[in-house]
Amino acid sequence: MRKPLSYPAVNTVSFGFRIGRGRQYPMRTADQHNEIELNHVECGEMLFRRGVETVRLPQGATTVYWAAVPHQVVSVAPGTEISWAVIPLAWFLGWRLSPAFNKRIIGGDILRLDGASSRIRIPSFRDWAEDFSASSELNLAVRLEVESFFRRLAARDQDHGAIRQGPPAEELQSHHVERMIATITARFREPLSVEQIARSANLNPEYAMRLFRKRWGMTLGTFLQHQRVAEARRLLLLSDLPVIDVAFACGFQSLSRFYHAFKKQSGFSPRAYRLRFTVPDLPE
């Protein structure tokens, strides 16, 4: 008898702007929320999984990533402490950083501050946390310091050419794009159409497609497909779901479309991907 199908558990609570520092423990379930995370390992070491990527983060490692992809600390060395900041997506979009840098973040990269980026001073998370709740003036100062940190990071992201400031845009446009991204990340498992995505931002579909492509360098359909394939890769490696169930769980309406999109992005068929790549069993 086949054992019951199991889906990897995910916690989808949103955080808003938050900063903290303290002891890190293994996470029982993955987190998934529509914000940007900045983490710094103060001491110790941890094994971090995001989607299907597992990385070892030693003392001094600093990472930046979009938290809409399920992520989880799966093991830690005794006494590991980290500092962390969660940045609202609305702030990130409103800064209008270079399109190449934005595309790296929203495209799913984990940015590690090494090489050219290592010249960037790691912020004082404790000062940020205290000042943000102290007064309106200090609140504004923290927001400007967070923005300054990300601007330096984008400017020094040399390897991917993210050196040029992005074109100016209206604040309202940033709000529209944020709404569309939020809709896709929350509902990509549904049979979601471009018209529905545009409607969530109160936009005409044609204008929504032009605006999104201008800001992110990809179409709405491509971004939606990336979200679905990223989730499919995660389920293929971290669950026992049959391929057909993975396809429909990720929002694809036919196996043929799923196979085409998956192979286009990964270079493998879903079955070959599952056979070739494995995520090791990790200590609790």
Pairwise CA distance, residues 145 & 274, whole Å? 43
Phi, psi of 253 (to 5 degrees): -95, -5
Residue 169, pLDDT score: 40
Confidence of residue 75 (pLDDT cuts 50, 70, 90): very high
CB count within 10 Å of CB 38 equals 23
Digit-coded pLDDT (tens) for 247-269: 999 999 999 999 999 998 888 89
Strongest mean pLDDT among 60-69, 73-82, 164-173, 176-185: 73-82
* Full-model pTM: 0.63
More confident residue, 228 or 93: 228
Q: Are 76 and 44 in contact (CB under 8 A)?
A: yes
Torsion angle, CA of 76/276/235/231, rounded to 10 degrees? 90
Q: Find all residues with CB under 8 Å of 185, minimum gap 6, and list them.
A: 34, 68, 227
Mean pLDDT over 109-122 rounds to 65
Give whole-number Cα distances, 197 to 86, 117, 168, 180, in Å: 25, 35, 24, 6
Mean pLDDT over 161-165 rounds to 36
Q: If you average pLDDT over every residue of the chain, what do you get? A: 80
Residue 165, pLDDT score: 35
Pairwise CA distance, residues 144 & 282, whole Å? 39
Domains and CATH numbers, the chain: 16-160 (2.60.120.280), 171-276 (1.10.10.60)
Digit-coded pLDDT (tens) for 220-233: 898 899 889 888 88
